[in-house]
Amino acid sequence: MRGRKIVEGALDLLYPPRIYCDICGNLIDESRTYALCDRCISRMKWDRDPVQELGGVKMLRCAEYGIYERTMIFNLKYRGRKYIARDIAEIMRDRLRITDAVFEVIVPVPLSPERLRARGFNQTALIGRHLAEMTGTVQVEDALVRARNTRPMHGLSPEEREENIRGAFRVNTGRIPDLSGRRILMLDDFATTGATAREMRRALREAEPAEEIFLSFAARYGEAIRRTSEDDAD
C-alpha cells in the first residue's frame, strides 16, 4: 500500500497538467500559450471580429466551433480536466481585450441541478471564476437559475433549440441588487444559434442591467448571422 501511494505521488509530480497540450495531449513546454501545442493552436479557428449582433444580443466568441475547440471543452467537461478552465479563461480574457468590451459582472449559464449533481461542477462557472479573477470583475454564479429542465441541445434544429430553451431560466431575485445597473457579461462554453444567449438576456432583463454582452468560447452562429443579413438584404 505504502509503495503504491509513493508511486501515485510521484506521478503527480512528473505529470503536472501544463506539460500536456489541452487538446491533443502531446508534450509541450510550460511556457506555451494557453497550454496548447503549435499544431493545435494553429488549427483553432480564432475569431478576431468586432462584437456581432444576433437577434438583438451582442455576441462575442473566441473561435468558430470546430473539432479542436470541441475537444478542448470536452476534456474539461467530460474528462474532468478542470485545469483547462483556467486556460480557456485566459483565451477569453485576451479575446475581450482586443474588442475593448467593458463589463463588471459575469453571469454563467446555469446547469440544471440534475446535471450539476451528475457532473459535479458547472464548467462555465469554473471558467467564469478564473475570468473574474483575471479581469478584476465579479462572477455572480447563481444570478440565473433553471426554471425548468431542458433537453440537450445537440441534434436539435434551430427552431427546436429556440423552443427547448424558452422560459428555461429566471433571474434569482435575491441577486437582483448585484445585477441592476451593471454591465453584464453572459458566459457559455458553446453557442450555436444564439438561442441560449437570448434566453439568458430575457431572464436578466428583470434585473434591469445597464448592458449585456454574450461571450462563448466557441460558436457556430456565423452561419446564422450570414442568414440574418441575407434576409435583411431581401
Q: Which residues bind Zn ion (CB under 5 A)?
A: 21, 23-24, 26, 37, 40
Cβ of residue 21: shortest distance to Zn ion, in angstroms? 3
CA distance 194 to 158: 9
Quote the DSSP letter at residue 140: -
Least Å distance, CB 88 to Zn ion, is: 15
Choice between 26 and 173, CB closer to Zn ion: 26
Shortest spacing between CB 81 and Zn ion, in angstroms? 13
* Minimum distance of Zn ion from residue 26's CB (angstroms): 5
Indicate the pairing of strand 211-219 with strand 183-191: parallel
By beta-carbon proximity to Zn ion, the closer residue of 28 and 219 is: 28
∠ CA 193-33-15, nearest 5°, is 105
Residues 6+ apart with CB under 8 A from 186: 107, 109, 197, 200, 201, 204, 212, 213, 214, 215
Q: Which is nearer to Zn ion, 35 or 215 (CB)?
A: 35
26 versus 149: smaller Cβ distance to Zn ion: 26
Bridge partners (DSSP) of residue 58 are 53, 213
